[in-house]
Structure 1
Amino acid sequence: MSQNELRFGIWALVHGNRAALHDPEEPYDASFARNRALVLEAERLGYATTLVAQHTANPLDRDLDQLEAWTTSAALAALTSRIEIIAAIKPYLYHPVVLAKMALQIEEISQGRFGLNLVNAWNRPELEKAGLPFAEHDARYAYGAEWLSVVSRLMSGEAVTHHGAHFHVDDYQLRPAGKFRRRPTIYVGGESGPARALVAAQGDVWFINGQPPDDVRGLIADLRARQRAGAPLRFGLSAFVIARPTQAEADGELARLAGLARLDAPLRDIQRSNTDPAVVMMQTIARTPSVGTNGGTAAGLVGDYDTVARRIAAFHGLGVDTFMLQFQPFEREMRRFAAEVIPRVRRLTGELPVAPRREA
Structure 2
Amino acid sequence: MTLPLRIGIWALVHGNRAALHDPEEPYDASWARNRRLVLEAEALGYDCVLIAQHTMNPHKPELGQLEAWTSAAALAAETRRIELIAAIKPMLYHPVVLAKMALQIEEISGGRFAINLVNAWNRKEIEDAGMVFREHDERYAYGAEWLSVVERLMRGEAVQHDGRYFQVRDYMLRPTAATRARPRIYVGGESDPARDLVAALADVWFINGQPLENVQALIADVRRRPRAGAPVRFGLSTFVIARETEEEAQAEYRRLLDLAQQDGEIKAYVRANTDPAVVMRKTQAKFESVGTNGGTAAGTVGSYDQVAARLAAFHEAGIDTLLTQFQPFEREMRRFAEHVRPRLRAMGATAG
Using the size of structure 1 for normalisation, the TM-score is 0.97
> Could you tell me how far apart the structure 2 residues matched to 1:304 and 1:349 are?
19
Structure 1 CA distance for aligned equivalents of residues 336 and 295 of structure 2: 16
User: Which letter maps to 1:196?
Assistant: R
Matching residue of 2:64: 65
Structure 1 counterpart of 2:225, one-letter code: R
**Preserved contact between residue 291 and residue 297 of structure 1 (Cα < 8 Å):** yes
Q: Does 1:42 align with 2:41?
A: yes
Deviation at 1:70, TM superposition (A): 0.2
Cα offset for 1:4? 2.2
Residue in structure 2 matched with residue 178 of structure 1 by the alignment: 177
Alignment partners' CA distance in 2, 1:45 and 1:30 = 21
Distance 1:270 1:70, change over 3 A: same
| Contact residue 106 and residue 177 of structure 2 kept, 8 A | no
Q: What's the counterpart of residue 52 of structure 1?
A: 51
Q: Which deviates more, 207-216 or 171-180?
A: 171-180
Residue 268 of structure 1: aligned partner: 267
**Residues in 2 aligned to 1:297 and 1:209: alpha-carbon distance in whole angstroms:** 10
2:196, 2:280 → 1: CA distance? 16
Report if aligned partners of 1:3, 1:234 keep a CA contact under 8 Å in 2.
no
1:224 paired residue number: 223
Q: Distance in 1 between matches of 2:204 and 2:268?
A: 31
Q: CA deviation at 1:200?
A: 0.4
Corresponding residue pairs, total: 352
Distance 2:213 2:81 in 1: 33
TM-score computed with the length of structure 2 as normaliser: 0.99
Q: 8 Å contact 2:98–2:150 — kept in the other structure?
A: yes
Q: Quote the Cα distance in structure 2 between the aligned partners of 1:146 and 1:272.
A: 28
> Are 2:18 and 1:14 aligned?
no
Q: 1:1-360, aligned counterparts within 5 Å?
A: 4-349=3-348, 351-353=350-352
Distance 1:278 1:350, change over 3 A: closer
Deviation at 1:121? 1.1
**Structure 1 residue ranges without an equivalent (≥5):** 354-360
Deviation string 1:84-131 (CA, Å, 9 cap, x unpaired) is 000000000000000000000000000100000000011001010000
Question: What SS is found at the alignment partner of 1:87?
Answer: strand
Does the Cα contact within 8 Å between 1:210 and 1:298 map onto a contact in 2? yes
Taking the aligned partners of 2:252 and 2:199, their CA distance within structure 1 comes to 38
User: What's the RMSD between the two structures over aligned residues?
Assistant: 0.8
Give unpaired runs (5+ residues) of structure 2: none
Distance 2:2 2:244 in 1: 32
Q: Could you say what secondary structure the match of 1:349 adopts?
A: coil
Aligned residues with identical type, % of pairs: 69
Change (3 A) 1:276 1:31: same
| Runs of 4+ deviating beyond 6 Å | none
- In 2 relative to 1, CA 3–179 (structure 1 residues): closer, same or farther, beyond 3 Å? farther
**Partner SS for 2:134:** coil
Give 3-state SS (helix, strand or coil) of 1:331's partner.
helix
Q: Give 1:352 deviation, angstroms.
A: 2.3
CA distance in 2, matches of 1:175, 1:221: 38
